Structure 1
């Protein structure tokens, strides 16, 4: 009767663990599998029955010795040494030879006397999850490479447009101005005043147009960025921004030595431009400080304002649809800055709280 009760208890115990979807094994200190559920038997690299007792490393890896090394650390040893549950990632081979990646979670099994009797090991198949993570990683890398290419193409197109404006429109405007001035000096004394007035007005319009063209060229590709570097370009842009918006801009820092690569300078300058644009559109600020810091091989650009601030988590989680609205453009700007930073191997962080200003780092 005692044997029947023991067998019934064992069968009941086996039926319970057989109902668990994850593979479960009870492993003794001698590495022998004392108990395993249906999922573990199906997942095993051995064709075994319920009564057959094999070593855990035979079942999982068809090895003749216990797992060792850093590639396949032995959970039994780790749990025995620490007395705490451990989680490791292993490569397993199913009975049909199929390779799978699994997460092994091992917990200590203590006896009534407090002695260590082995481990309870659960195995979760994470192959598909890891494949999805790898696909996502590769996709992210492709997107980052595409972002870099787009940024470089944008800068090249800006340079081309600025050059075309200078070589074609700028030179034509200069020639037109020379011609008009020659005509003015050669007008006879008896020329009617309305004609002289129209000529003077044309020269004035020509001057204004040339000035606008120079501004457009500078915004497309500031010559000061190429000639003098990032900090000088930030000083120039800060002055232009302050004149347009009546928001005071202070630029702090020195030019990095040695000078940054051109694509890094471009990215940082465009990030600062976008940050200042967001300040003008959303911050209701009166003061902006742009700081360039370099220490321990790390360059840090900080754009800080004293405006109304916002909740970054809400804005950054927002979907693209609402951000396309006129009052939701901040989200696109933050995304653009992040992509520009990542394209040159950097990071972009936003710190802000309602009514406490914003820092773009």
Structure 2
């Protein structure tokens, strides 16, 4: 816990916390609405169910009272012999139904049922009617008994109607309470919605501000990265220029200074051989002369490898042909060269890049490919130069970027080509062999002095 206690709050954490707070408010508002809806639905259903049961019992009592009144009227008006038995049977049925309805009212609201004396008043009315059935037959009921039954019936009906009004008032009160609760819940929901809206606005503002800041940082980082990459490219280009200049200087120094010194040494040894006739000293001088000649050849080869004078004097085509001749002499690999232009008019950077590419490709071919043939093609067209080096060796293992997974030679070549706006393509089909192709933009070439030439060496 301590490692989180001192962790500073940044903009990202605040935005995440804000989103969580908004989601919590939305969830709470939804829960409140759902809780209110569920509770009020239950209350309304309970109130309606209670009212329907009470109304059913009250309707049964109301129906029984009027049915008993009609039965009494028929009893007095009928002249049938069984009218008394039929009247008693009807009263018994009505009493059973009334007792059931009164019992239902007692279960639903006993205090109100007892307070209004619904059961006793209905029972008193029915008891009065039963007393008429026990009287001797009269053409009509005695006036005093009829007068007594009407108030009982009125009292029973009034108790039933009063119970009905009270039950309706209860339903109205429940609905009013539900309405008040709904209004209160609606106010709470509106307050929560307003809080969510305000929080969402604040969060949106914070998010927008954070996004703008991150975008500025991203652009600044991209600009810094671009500047660093440009600086690195400039540094790399400068290093290559310095390297080529040093190679040119070393090549010139080796050729002009060391080479001439060794040539002079060889000449001095030759002069000494002409004046010395003793066999033993002559043999030693002869060995020294041969060593001097070997040194002259070695220095010349090193000078040409560093920076062949052919590249500056005769052009790119002659320098590439010289490289193939050297490869054929060293390794006995069959070579062929085809060019449609000597490349003398090409810029120095392009000539150097193509020469180094061919040099790296031929060195790899000699060391790793186990090839028996290699072909170099130089094509100079309208605004482009293409160099292609193909061999029949074992091929090159390439990674996802179409580059060898190890070694930096071809990677350096790709950087050289990229700086000049060109492309480097390396292909190695499954059947073996390799193809290295360089394509560079160049100025329009001058008209060719002659037809394309093909040179082979073995």
Question: TM class, shorter-chain normalised?
Answer: 0.5 to 0.7
Of 278, 289, 295, the match for 1:203 = 289
**Kept after mapping to 2: 8 A contact 1:184/1:199:** yes
**Kept after mapping to 1: 8 A contact 2:403/2:426:** no
**Distance across 2 between alignment mates of 1:250 and 1:9:** 87
Instruction: Tell me which residue corresponds to 1:100.
Output: 212
**Distance across 2 between alignment mates of 1:285 and 1:237:** 16
Distance 1:140 1:316, change over 3 A: farther
**Distance across 2 between alignment mates of 1:296 and 1:274:** 26
Instruction: Tell me which residue corresponds to 1:169.
Output: 258
1:67-121 Cα offsets, whole Å, 9 max, x none, are xxxxxxxxxxxxxxxxxxxxxxxxxxx4xxx9938xxxxxxxxxxxxxxxxxxxx
**1:232 Cα offset (Å):** 1.3
**1:194 Cα offset (Å):** 2.2
**1:297 Cα offset (Å):** 1.0
**Kept after mapping to 2: 8 A contact 1:145/1:343:** no
Instruction: Tell me which residue corresponds to 2:319.
Output: 233
**1:226 Cα offset (Å):** 0.6
The residue correspondences of 1:250-329 to structure 2 (distance < 5 A) are 250-255=336-341, 259-313=345-399, 328=406
**Kept after mapping to 2: 8 A contact 1:147/1:343:** no
Distance 1:2 1:314, change over 3 A: same
**Distance across 1 between alignment mates of 2:357 and 2:393:** 18
**Kept after mapping to 2: 8 A contact 1:311/1:353:** no
Q: Which consecutive unaligned segments of at least 5 residues does structure 2 have?
A: 1-181, 438-458
Distance 1:10 1:307, change over 3 A: farther
**1:308 Cα offset (Å):** 1.5
Distance 1:200 1:100, change over 3 A: same
Of 319, 330, 343, the match for 2:419 = 343
Q: RCO (CA 8 Å, sep 6+): is it higher in 1 or 2?
A: 2
**Distance across 2 between alignment mates of 1:177 and 1:135:** 59
**1:203 Cα offset (Å):** 1.3
**Distance across 2 between alignment mates of 1:131 and 1:339:** 26
**Kept after mapping to 1: 8 A contact 2:336/2:375:** yes
**1:130 Cα offset (Å):** 3.3
3-state DSSP of counterpart to 2:424: coil
Distance 1:302 1:157, change over 3 A: same
**1:251 Cα offset (Å):** 1.7
3-state DSSP of counterpart to 1:204: helix
**1:11 Cα offset (Å):** 7.1
3-state DSSP of counterpart to 1:312: coil
**Distance across 1 between alignment mates of 2:190 and 2:367:** 73
**Distance across 2 between alignment mates of 1:10 and 1:284:** 83
3-state DSSP of counterpart to 1:252: strand
Question: What is the RMSD computed on CA atoms of the aligned residues?
Answer: 3.5
Instruction: Tell me which residue corresponds to 2:329.
Output: 243
1:158-196 Cα offsets, whole Å, 9 max, x none, are 1111221123212211221221111111224xx2x2222
The residue correspondences of 1:184-203 to structure 2 (distance < 5 A) are 184-188=273-277, 191=278, 193-203=279-289
Instruction: Tell me which residue corresponds to 1:42.
Output: 206
Instruction: Tell me which residue corresponds to 1:151.
Output: 240
Which has the larger displacement, 196-205 or 249-258? 249-258
Distance 1:179 1:271, change over 3 A: same
Instruction: Tell me which residue corresponds to 2:109.
Output: none
Bigger-Rg structure (1/2): 2
Distance 1:257 1:158, change over 3 A: closer
Calculate the TM-score normalised by the size of structure 1: 0.61
Calculate the TM-score normalised by the size of structure 2: 0.49
**1:262 Cα offset (Å):** 0.8
Distance 1:175 1:10, change over 3 A: farther
**Distance across 1 between alignment mates of 2:243 and 2:343:** 27
Distance 1:223 1:142, change over 3 A: same
**Distance across 2 between alignment mates of 1:143 and 1:183:** 57
3-state DSSP of counterpart to 1:183: helix
> Which one has a larger percent helix, Structure 1 or Structure 2?
2
1:37-60 Cα offsets, whole Å, 9 max, x none, are 65423245xxxxxxxxxxxxxxxx
**1:131 Cα offset (Å):** 3.1
**1:148 Cα offset (Å):** 1.2
**1:212 Cα offset (Å):** 0.9
